[in-house]
Amino acid sequence: MPYRRLPNTDSARLRALKRAVEMSKNIPPFRLAFSMKTLVKIQAFLPLFENSISHQRQTLVNQTEKAKSNQDTARKARLYITHFLKVMNMAINRGEMPPEARSFYGIASDDSSIPSLTTENELVAWGKRIIDGEEYRIRKGNSPVTNPTIAVVKVRYEKFLETRNHYKTINRRATECVNKTSEMRLDADELITALWNEIEASFSALPEDEKRAQTEKYGVVYVFRKNEMIRKDLSPTLFGTDQEDNQ
């Protein structure tokens, strides 16, 4: 016997619920295979569930777009900070700046390496350290590092922070949408199970094949097992055709 299979995707869940509403529009209430109580629940739940799914999908699209923007601004901020430090090191090598100048940026005087800026947290921390240090160094009467200047670095850094904060907000909203839709899926599955149970009960007195045909009109889904599919395909008509061909 084929077995009933409940929806396992959002599209299938929506289809099952919408089918019940469609049937209610074409069949008088007293002839429906499910109760008015269930219909009222579906009519109240369906638009909320559909809206939640739509909102989640749009939020995930926004999340993907903002992720790309965040990566781009982070890459540029990283590039400008790295270039600033390289120019500063070259100025020290040329004798234009003392090695002690590195201490303004939280770097050891004898350390000419570029600090790790791989992660966003590192980029946030070092960006602030470099900007604050250079601005303080200039206020102390020292000549600014140029090409790039700290003002240009700051613009790129603040753009990165802005995009990063926006991206974090989008991520939080996406998580909230996913969680909300996940909870509503449980409600949808419970509602569809109750709906299909009522539909099958309404046609329980019919022979199995006729019962299945009637319930399928209401959107109930049945799946044949592999061996049942083989028997289903080997119908009497096919056997008759084979015999005639053999003659």
Query: Whole-model pTM?
Result: 0.72
Phi, psi of 223 (to 5 degrees): -125, 130
What separation in angstroms does the CA of 85 have from each of 108, 138, 154, 230? 13, 15, 13, 72
Phi, psi of 144 (to 5 degrees): -75, 155
- Provide the residue-wise pLDDT of the chain in tens; the chain has 247 residues: 688 999 999 999 999 999 999 999 999 999 999 999 999 999 999 999 999 999 999 999 999 999 999 999 999 999 999 999 999 999 999 999 999 999 999 999 999 999 999 999 999 999 999 999 999 999 999 999 999 999 999 999 999 999 999 999 999 999 999 999 999 999 999 999 999 999 999 999 999 999 999 999 999 999 987 766 545 554 443 333 333 333 3
* 8 A C-beta contact, residue 147 and residue 136: no
